[in-house]
Structure 1
Amino acid sequence: MKKRLISVFGMLLFPLFLIAQQRVIVDTDIDSDVDDAGTLAMLYTLHKQHKINLLGTIVTSDDPFAATCVSAFNAFYGMGQLPLGFLEGQSSLKNHSRYTRQISEEFPHDLASWRDAEAATHTYRKLLAESPDHSVVILTIGHLSSLQKLLQSSADQYSPLNGKQLVEAKVRKWYCMGGLFPEGKEANFSRPDPASTVYCLANWTKDVVFCGWEIGQQVVTGDAALKAKLPREYPMYRAYELYNNFQGRASWDQVTAFLLSDEASRYFELDNAGSCQLQADGSNRWIPGPKRNQSIVRFKSGVNVQEVAGQITKLMLGKDIPVNSYIPWKGKSVDFSHGPLVVSANKRFLAHTDGTPFFYMGDTAWELFHRLTEEEIDRYLENRRGKGFNVIQAVILAELDGLDTPDRNGNKPLINNDPAKPNETYFRWVDRIIEKAAAKGMYMGLLPTWGDKVDKQWGVGPVIFNERNIAEYGRFLANRYKDYPNIIWIIGGDRNGGDTNFPVWNALANAIKSIDKNHLMTFHPYGRHTSSRWFHAADWLNFNSSQTGHADCCFDIFEKLIVGDYNKQPVKPCINMEPCYEDHPVRGKVCTSTTWFGDANTRQALYWSLFSGAAGHTYGCHPIWQCMSPAYTPTGNVLNNWYDDLDLPGAGSMIHARRLFERYDYFSRRPAPEIILTKQQAIGDMAVAIQGDGYAFVYLPHGNAVDVSLEALTNASILTLQWYNPRTGQYSFIADVPAKGGYQVKPESSGKGNDWIFVMNSKKM
């Protein structure tokens, strides 16, 4: 018998010394059992420890939430870029899992539904075609329908080889959780598609290792030991909680994945003298005989299975693996095929002409055209696209000596500072940047000029505009940009809109609108003011913009500006275009380590604005708006260069607001202060509420407890209560409760930086 046993160490020695060749595709049937969830966590750990190179995930399941569940796992563990394929050609799907739907709904991911997933065969073929010869390990932890389709596939755009030829050329080994040895009937082999098992084994010519039911059955994980160490915010915690509340479960799939680890040789050996014989119903028998390409896994003599369970649990926990705070936006930030932007039918929001909602998620890069090179702009735009921003606010005639200090190409915008003589070379540069933004699905919030060219005040100036020549300049801009798909006009530039400025700004706006009928327009006011003070009745003003500013303010300024604009007649959308900026000194205070606005401040401004009725929001960062670098003198106290602050936590958390609001019924939402029963003052930790059809949210800036009404959703009998973490974009389930009476909302953490959103959903019966 010993002659037929070989060490797994011998099996793994080659790939462990050539890690780049241990390229892994995992094929999971994640639905009926929870060991798939634990296996995914193990693979992420092995990947980030550089023990394997995880190429992609194949989902072989008839559960409609299986693919989105895997997408949520991938995203949470910072692997959202992994290709994901879903078994194609299924006649019907049914949610039969205890956790896939909940994971899909409670954790963020980029896959809208299984319909948007790539066909599993395409994913398999693409990943194999891109890999070196004889380098890929396929790990199947479910039934084999997708693998059969791969073997039966024809040549395509990825490879001229058919499926069998492609596997022969690219695959090194197949690890299969399947079978019961020495004989029996096991689920992966026998249901729901035993014919796929028969086909795959009959047509597989490369090495294959079967890890049978009898091996994983002896190794129990997912019990109290995992619960004690696993943070509650992990999707794996939620999966085990929903499956059997950490009562422990056999580790069939995890043991198979464990064979890829360095530790496997201590516990397992292979029997490769024989072959697996199959019946049509998927039952199997190991037939001893000559060595072939097949092996089965056995425990080494005297192995302590609890020790194996401990090793697997360690990989499942992956404590040394960092978790992303946000999932990068996939693809273009906006799909322009939905049509130009308009004001929504109810006048509260922005939308495309086909009715698709547009959530204005702006970033502030006032000096973009003036101070950055093309390479730097490419870097900036891609970073902001990945964070879900869809509007970049920038100024053509920039604030920081934008008339007399040339841009990075050596060009000034006007010849002799004459608005009637635009420098064509400079404007071709502006054209190019606008086109770059369009290619990424991003609008340019375009300011024709900063306010100091109209009203110098604290700026550099010089003042060059009057009512006549600014209209001529406006017509020039309108003719140049009226047919671009990605323009939002922003008049003003941190200035008073009234007094002697009023006719000048009005002339600019009317001149542009007289020619450009395609784009929306607003006005950017100076601090603690809103455009509605001067221009609310103007036909050219499509939506109001306010600047709550950079002082250490309480909710009262949001109540004055945002709530005030929301309540004005006629109704127009409103946006907070300049709240406090991240890494900006708190105005009015001596700059110390504690007097800079951080991510908590930027999120508070974001949600105070949105929950007060704003149709969108603009984020800003102090070094980024001025495109600060060692080449320039800083404006105000500046901590870093622009490129150092691209990935601040506040910037990364903006995407969670966009995803939250785009997930729910968009046009029905309204401020709902009546939901909060606790008496409050307009102070720094003011809780605010909003509701729409079938849902309500309560934002708690510091995580302080409040009492809320459960009767806001009038047609609901049962409410599903959840937490939404605005720092990470993750949901966590609280309870299903009757829609009656009051409820004390008390987050699990509190204090500055521990903001939470309490979510009430009408339960789908």
Structure 2
Amino acid sequence: MAQRWQPVEWKFEPANSHENAYGDELLTATFEHESGTTHEVSGFRYGDGTVRVRFAPPSQGRWTWETHSTDPELRESGTFEATTNRTETALHEHGYLVADERTLRHADGTPFFWLGDTAWSASTRATPEEWADYLDHRAELGYNVVQVNALAQHDASIPHDRLPFGADWEMDSPDPEYFEALDGLVAMAHDRGIVPALVALWFDYVPGANASWDYVYADRHPMTAAQARRLGRYLGARYGAYGTVWLVSGDSEFDEESLQVYRAAAEGLRDACTHPPLTVHQPGGQVTPAIANDEDWLHFHMYQSGHSTDLTGPRSQAHSTRTLDPPRPVLNGEPPYEDMYNRDPDERIDRRTVRAAGWVSVLAGANAGLTYGALGIWNWHREGDAFEAGEDRWGKSATWREALEFRGAEDYARLREILDGFAFDSLEPRPELLVTDESGVEAAVLADALLVYAVDGHRLTLRDPPTVDFFEWVDPGTGARRDAEVERQGDDVRVSPAPFDGDGLLVGRR
């Protein structure tokens, strides 16, 4: 018996060992629901020599399956019944993610606001016990995505506890123990209703993908397009059944040469998965370039506003990305990370900066979601570790457990909680509502509300705003609410300053 939206695994014994079978398409499996709907997924080679298939049935009822292979020992068929999922999370109740014109949604159409956290380096470093503590903490706050590098993160704290292709970086021979450990991390996130968002190929595996770093794995072990396609197919077959979302690239500056490698990885992922939302993770300050935007496998946009107190980036990148054609959902997948250097060793990025960048991003048009990050967690730092690749650039690191308690993560959880009270999928940026154009002040309208964020909570004048029933100020750092005093001047509305220190969110409720 299977459960809807829970992976089921089948294990097959091949006729021979299929030496170097990592890249071979040994097996595909077709699953047909009693309604006639069919899905096809790829098999993958497991470390013990078996070939395995993972599939998460999206519907209740009777399913039949059949495998296809040139190896007669891998050709089998069968049936099973899928029941309602007994895990009480939105992911298991409403299903895996799809992208429409401006919104990420569950399979049943329920809007999904991406509240992610950044744990790029957990794949090579986190123990199961550490990972459980981390996930439980984030799930309790309401986080529903975790962004992790499927391979080794080049600027992680060291030493790595495990490596995807072994110490000799044999790119055609994945290390079985590494991917079995990654199996566990992905499954633990899925079990808690947290979507795994895995990076397939950070820039350091693709020659020429980012010229600003001089230490990259690609210098020694460049990945070809054929290897990237093989890796994509392998990752998709192994992790697609967990509802994984794929960041095909990481911090990559696309050109025609590197795009060939990333396209191959994306096609491998797409061919192997049942539910494969795909995006690219851009370097700081950049929007999706035209050559990547033209790719038919791209489902949504993820920009990185970068690690600075300057709030013009989160706004301008959201605005620019929303102008791309065709329209796709937009989210800020890397705002300023808490406790990182602000491009200056004498100043760290604080909680208020992180919070402001989040609200500015969302109201400027990145309403599909937001990802928090903290120095200490993304590099998975422990006491006594070295942070050689990043300390000069980003600062001396807290441990991941210390960083887990940084308060900025609570602010992003509060942001999601506030937006969940409205039709956030209907959000449209409306900068023209503001009489003055100021950095750190953003306005947006929703089907049931008007929202204005002001980084210093000052008096606002709104130009001919839509009719609302009443205005209130919300403290984004505490959630406290106070009625706002308003004065109408013709078509304009003047609103009193926020009645608390710091930033404020003006809410007009309909």
Are the aligned partners of 1:520 and 1:542 in contact in 2 as well (CA < 8 Å)? yes
Closer, same or farther: CA 663–740 of 1 in aligned 2, 3 Å: farther
Closer, same or farther: CA 459–579 of 1 in aligned 2, 3 Å: farther
Question: Partner residue of 2:481?
Answer: 731
Question: Which of 163, 166, 175 is the aligned partner of 1:423?
Answer: 175
Distance apart, 1:736 and its partner CA: 8.6
Q: What is the CA deviation profile of residues 533-571 of structure 1, one whole-angstrom value per residue up to 9, with x for unaligned ones?
A: 43112111100111111134241x234321111122110
Question: Partner residue of 1:631?
Answer: 384
Are 1:612 and 2:357 matched, yes or no? no
Normalising by structure 2, report the TM-score: 0.76
Question: Which of 505, 509, 530 is the aligned partner of 2:287?
Answer: 530
Question: Partner residue of 1:412?
Answer: 163
Are the aligned partners of 1:333 and 1:390 in contact in 2 as well (CA < 8 Å)? no
Partner secondary structure for residue 335 of structure 1 = helix
Question: Partner residue of 2:314?
Answer: 558
Question: Which of 456, 471, 474 is the aligned partner of 1:702?
Answer: 456
Are 1:436 and 2:195 matched, yes or no? no
Partner secondary structure for residue 478 of structure 1 = helix
Question: Partner residue of 2:7?
Answer: none
State how far apart, in whole Å, the 1-side matches of 2:157 and 2:305 are: 28
State how far apart, in whole Å, the 1-side matches of 2:156 and 2:222 are: 12
Q: What is the CA deviation profile of residues 291-333 of structure 1, one whole-angstrom value per residue up to 9, with x for unaligned ones?
A: xxxxxxxxxxxxxxxxxxxxxxxxxxxxxxxxxxxxxxxx966
Distance apart, 1:639 and its partner CA: 4.5
Q: What is the CA deviation profile of residues 185-206 of structure 1, one whole-angstrom value per residue up to 9, with x for unaligned ones?
A: xxxxxxxxxxxxxxxxxxxxxx
Question: Partner residue of 1:191?
Answer: none
State how far apart, in whole Å, the 2-side matches of 1:403 and 1:621 are: 13
Closer, same or farther: CA 663–761 of 1 in aligned 2, 3 Å: same
Partner secondary structure for residue 348 of structure 1 = coil
Amino acid at match of 2:292: F
Question: Partner residue of 1:659?
Answer: 417
Are 1:621 and 2:374 matched, yes or no? yes
Are 1:568 and 2:320 matched, yes or no? no
Q: Aligned runs of 1:93-108 on 2, under 5 Å? A: none
Question: Partner residue of 2:469?
Answer: 719
Amino acid at match of 1:339: G
Q: Aligned runs of 1:345-494 on 2, under 5 Å? A: 347-400=101-154, 406-407=160-161, 411-415=162-166, 416-455=168-207, 457-461=213-217, 462-485=220-243, 487-494=244-251
Distance apart, 1:622 and its partner CA: 1.3
State how far apart, in whole Å, the 2-side matches of 1:373 and 1:396 are: 15
State how far apart, in whole Å, the 2-side matches of 1:340 and 1:363 are: 18
Corresponding residue pairs, total: 411
Amino acid at match of 2:335: P
Q: Aligned runs of 1:32-43 on 2, under 5 Å? A: none
Distance apart, 1:652 and its partner CA: 1.1
State how far apart, in whole Å, the 1-side matches of 2:378 and 2:156 are: 14
Q: What is the CA deviation profile of residues 337-384 of structure 1, one whole-angstrom value per residue up to 9, with x for unaligned ones?
A: 21221113xx01101121111000111111112122111111111111
Question: Partner residue of 2:507?
Answer: 759
Which structure 2 segments of 5+ residues have no match?
Answer: 1-86
State how far apart, in whole Å, the 1-side matches of 2:303 and 2:276 are: 20
* Greater relative CO (CA pairs within 8 A, separation 6+): 2
State how far apart, in whole Å, the 2-side matches of 1:669 and 1:513 are: 30
Partner secondary structure for residue 622 of structure 1 = coil
Distance apart, 1:575 and its partner CA: 1.1
Distance apart, 1:412 and its partner CA: 2.7
More helix by share: 1
Normalising by structure 1, report the TM-score: 0.51
Distance apart, 1:495 and its partner CA: 2.0
Partner secondary structure for residue 514 of structure 1 = helix
State how far apart, in whole Å, the 2-side matches of 1:559 and 1:527 are: 13
State how far apart, in whole Å, the 1-side matches of 2:170 and 2:288 are: 28
State how far apart, in whole Å, the 1-side matches of 2:206 and 2:276 are: 23
Question: Partner residue of 1:692?
Answer: 446
State how far apart, in whole Å, the 2-side matches of 1:467 and 1:632 are: 34
Partner secondary structure for residue 667 of structure 1 = helix
Distance apart, 1:616 and its partner CA: 0.5
Are the aligned partners of 2:372 and 2:409 in contact in 1 as well (CA < 8 Å)? yes
Are 1:747 and 2:508 matched, yes or no? no
Closer, same or farther: CA 586–401 of 1 in aligned 2, 3 Å: closer
State how far apart, in whole Å, the 2-side matches of 1:514 and 1:370 are: 26
Amino acid at match of 1:421: S
Closer, same or farther: CA 701–695 of 1 in aligned 2, 3 Å: same
Question: Partner residue of 1:233?
Answer: none
Amino acid at match of 2:316: K
Question: Partner residue of 2:8?
Answer: none
Q: What is the CA deviation profile of residues 483-527 of structure 1, one whole-angstrom value per residue up to 9, with x for unaligned ones?
A: 223x11011111212242111111111111122141211111222
- Once superposed, what is the RMSD of the aligned Cα atoms? 2.4
Are the aligned partners of 2:156 and 2:378 in contact in 1 as well (CA < 8 Å)? no
State how far apart, in whole Å, the 2-side matches of 1:577 and 1:488 are: 13
Partner secondary structure for residue 392 of structure 1 = strand
Question: Partner residue of 1:251?
Answer: none
Are the aligned partners of 1:454 and 1:501 in contact in 2 as well (CA < 8 Å)? yes
Q: What is the CA deviation profile of residues 89-131 of structure 1, one whole-angstrom value per residue up to 9, with x for unaligned ones?
A: xxxxxxxxxxxxxxxxxxxxxxxxxxxxxxxxxxxxxxxxxxx
Q: What is the CA deviation profile of residues 688-742 of structure 1, one whole-angstrom value per residue up to 9, with x for unaligned ones?
A: 0011113100000111222113x432xx4x6211111111123222369889732
State how far apart, in whole Å, the 1-side matches of 2:137 and 2:442 are: 31
Are 1:545 and 2:299 matched, yes or no? no
Are the aligned partners of 2:128 and 2:184 in contact in 1 as well (CA < 8 Å)? no
Partner secondary structure for residue 115 of structure 2 = strand
